[in-house]
Amino acid sequence: MHRQTRTLHSGWTLTCLGGPGVRPGLPEAIAATVPGTVHTDLLAASLIPDPYLDLNEITVDWVGRCDWRYETAFDWQDDGAEQVELVFAGLDTFAAISLNGVEIGRTANMNRTYRFAIRDHLRSGDNHLVVTFESAWKRGEVLDKQYEPRPNNYPGPANLMRKMACNFGWDWGPTLVTSGLWQGVTLESWSGARLARIRPEITLDGADGVVRLNAELAGDAQGLSLRVSVAGVTETLPVSGAVATLDLRVKSPQLWWPHHLGSQPLYSLDVELLSGDTVIDRWSRDIGFRSIRLDTTADEHGSAFTLIVNDAPVYVCGANWIPDDCFLPRVTPERYAGRVTQAKDANINLLRVWGGGIYETEAFYEECNRQGMLVWQDFLFACAAYPEEGDLPVEIEAEARDNIVRLMPHPSLVLWNGNNENIWGWFDWGWQDVLEGRSWGQGYYLELLPRLVAELDPTRPYWAGSPYSGSMGIHPNDPAHGCTHLWDVWNDIGYEHYADSVPRFCSEFGWQAPPTWATLTQSVHDNPLTPTSPGVWHHQKATIGNDKLLRGLQGHLPVPQTMDDWHFATQLNQARAIAFGIAHMRSHRLRNMGAIVWQLNDCWPVTSWAAVDGYGRKKPLWFALRNVFATHFLTIQPRDGGLSVIAVNDRTLFWRGPVTVKRLRFDGTVLAEWTHWRLCADRLSAAELPIPAEVATPGDVRNELLVVTMHDSTAIHYFADDIDLDLPAPQADFALERSGTDRWTLSVTARSLLKDVCVFVDRLHPDAGVDDMLVTILPGQSHIFTIDGASDLDRAALTSAPVFRTANDLVRGG
């Protein structure tokens, strides 16, 4: 009998079983969606306000403190199958499952799949299935008494359980403690045997691709065989036990590459379990052939940290990824596709799935496979000490085994990482005094997880933490070794201090700004709206975050006096800060081989470090990333007491051509000019060209700039910060034309220097977007902006503040 699978997603109801602060007058039961969460069911029934709006997060806090019961009925008729199993792909988190009045299991981990044998508990006709969830807050109180104190950077018991840590709040996220059947529920029937676990180890041997297929079987597999096919190659193997291993060699397959280096051919890997000629179970995934290794060789600067794909060293232009919504089932495959596309369009080539979130659903990794987006996957530990006693080690091992095996077929996945900031915390955050010798997770990161990766997925590198130097004998955040986090810049000092060091690899650094105006006003309804009005303040989760926003402007931009200027200045400063840091790091390519900005996305509308806000709109930072992560990137950097042009080439062909350097007054007058007739940057490298002092030295630092061009790449350098520049009053001529039903072109011709032009069309039409921002236009030059999503546009509103903005406005007081 072929294994039969049936989803159990209909007919569910939800009942509140009570808890602290429960809302009076709740209906006895409401309709429930599976997959789903309690919060989204209550929202659909209009029983709670939207927690993303205003101060509603506080209003709905009671939801996470209650126990909840899901129940449904389903019809079952005996089809003669020897085994019937109830499979839960994701239960959040502490659940008791009963079928027809009999408890069949309990769960305590939202990050793994659970499978229960239920044939003996089924009856012909109607069957009653109940899943009861205990509040994670309530279970946390029990665990808190069980474990002695363990440091945690954030309130809540996330480090004592296996639940998404940021559920309990983060410095960019709300405290919305969920429960529910967040992934699918299926009924599986089978006889004899089934495929239990498939592990394809995919490697290259010279020009050939090799698949070592490891299959674990459940049931009695005697007399069965395994047939495996990929890329036109098929092999069959008789099964003699519970584990079978089969090697397939594919002659000269096309290689899978990150998107900036090549194409992403995918091949279907098909596994069939046969009884004679009859297929009784099957498994299929799309795979890609590529090699991956992590180079940590010692050198004159310390030790490298370089990802090497298909023997090519890759400079990582990355972004950290957090859960894209607090209510996980709302992140559809289409939403994943849109967000990964936004990353790719910003020239990002790697997403780091951060350890305070989840192992994402298959749709995320499949999209990364298709789009050539590399994935760095954290194991789920973040910013806290984790006990190594009690039930946690068993849960953590089961969770890791589940997810290593589930994710290893994906060619996009290139690195397993043990934790986020926990080793750093043990070194620097006072943990050792608090712990007094108690466990904190070291055994997970240095023993358990590397052992499991070596056993289950030996083709991929494992790294113990981010940050981590590679040795407990070297400080984990030493920039000369391993991967580094740079958070002192945002927290304590100005962004110019990104240039103080050259990390071998920077896996976290970031700068805050509010969301787009449309997102801010869609989610906050304060009147008046100010940086410190209640709703805006509530949607700023970082400690003294607004103070840091203003402090970060010091020395760069004037203190804004209006809400409009505050919004623009802080967004502009975010883009400037991150672009400055990345340009510095990329200019030291080879010594530095990666910059992963914190962060790509948000899970709700909030002032944060994200480039794409919680409603999916692009902040100016997104446009800055697109520029500074370009595969052909030109930058002007201080070198040896002068200035040099650095041409960074992350393509597979050399980049060469004439370089022209001009020193101009702000009115466009050319004061000095020099052309170097051929600068050549070899493939996957950077080339440096010193600028002659007579060109690089200004006569008036307040009124001059350098412009460097090489082919279609341009770099601009100012000799002082904006606050010390004599930027002119912005003057321009505009031409607005409709180019489609909802598309427009805005031509801007500068009559004065226009620095960092932004067109915030979302202020006029919330769903509209523009194709470019942060554009500097020299006097006499023009730039065309394309606007999409606006059925009509008011030319006067479009071409004046607060929609049309330049840095000139801020310096000159609006």
C-alpha–C-alpha distance, residues 757 and 620, integer Å = 10
User: Helix, strand or coil for residue 774?
Assistant: coil
Q: Is the pLDDT of residue 547 over 60?
A: yes
Percent of all residues in the chain with a pLDDT value above 90, rounded to a whole number: 98
Per DSSP (E only), the strands in 398-532 are: 413-417, 462-463, 484-486, 506-509
How would you list the strands of the sheet with 775-777, edge to edge? 775-777, 754-759, 804-805
Domains along the chain?
Answer: 4-188 (2.60.120.260), 192-287 (2.60.40.10), 301-628 (3.20.20.80), 632-724 (2.60.40.10), 732-811 (2.60.40.10)
Residues 721-732 as b or e (16 or more Cβ within 10 Å = b): ebeebebbebeb
Q: Is the pLDDT of residue 527 over 70?
A: yes
Q: What is the DSSP string of 511-532?
A: --B---HHHHHHH---SS--TT
C-alpha–C-alpha distance, residues 602 and 760, integer Å = 20
C-alpha–C-alpha distance, residues 777 and 750, integer Å = 6
Q: What is the pTM of this model?
A: 0.97
The angle formed by the CA atoms of residues 92, 96 and 101, to the nearest 5 degrees, is 140
Residues 290-327 as b or e (16 or more Cβ within 10 Å = b): bbbebebeeeeebbbbbbbbbeeebbbbbbbbbbbbbb
C-alpha–C-alpha distance, residues 762 and 766, integer Å = 4
Which position among 188, 421, 508, 704 bears the catalytic label? Answer: 421
Whether 362 sits among the annotated catalytic residues: the reply is no
> Residue 21: pLDDT band by 50, 70, 90 thresholds?
confident
Helical packing angle, 620-628 and 563-586, nearest 10°? 20
Rounded to a whole number, what is the distance in angstroms from the first to the last CA of the chain?
75
Helical packing angle, 362-371 and 333-345, nearest 10°? 40
- In the chain, the amino acid numbered 463 is W
- Closest listed residue to residue 15, CA positions, set 5, 25, 7, 27: 27
The model's pLDDT over 662-700, given as tens digits with 9 standing for 90+, comes to 999 999 999 999 999 899 999 999 999 999 999 999 999
Cβ–Cβ under 8 Å, residues 174 and 541? yes
What tokens were used for 609?
Answer: 């470090």
The model's pLDDT over 366-407, given as tens digits with 9 standing for 90+, comes to 999 999 999 999 999 999 999 999 999 999 999 999 999 999
> Residue 141: pLDDT band by 50, 70, 90 thresholds?
very high
What is the pLDDT at residue 814?
47
Q: Look up tokens 């199958």; give the residue.
A: 81
What is the pLDDT at residue 1?
64
C-alpha–C-alpha distance, residues 495 and 486, integer Å = 11
How far from the centroid of its chain's Cα atoms is residue 417's Cα? Answer: 14
CA 47, 48, 49, 50 dihedral sign is negative
| Residue 810 main-chain phi, psi, to 5 deg | -65, -45
- Closest listed residue to residue 717, CA positions, set 624, 633, 634, 595: 634
The model's pLDDT over 275-299, given as tens digits with 9 standing for 90+, comes to 999 999 999 999 999 999 999 999 9
How far from the centroid of its chain's Cα atoms is residue 680's Cα? Answer: 34
Bridge-based pairing state of the strands 316-321 and 350-353? parallel
The model's pLDDT over 691-745, given as tens digits with 9 standing for 90+, comes to 999 999 999 999 999 999 999 999 999 999 999 999 999 999 999 999 989 999 9
C-alpha–C-alpha distance, residues 569 and 581, integer Å = 18
What tokens were used for 318?
Answer: 């990355």
C-alpha–C-alpha distance, residues 541 and 332, integer Å = 26
Bridge-based pairing state of the strands 594-597 and 316-321? parallel
- In the chain, the amino acid numbered 739 is S
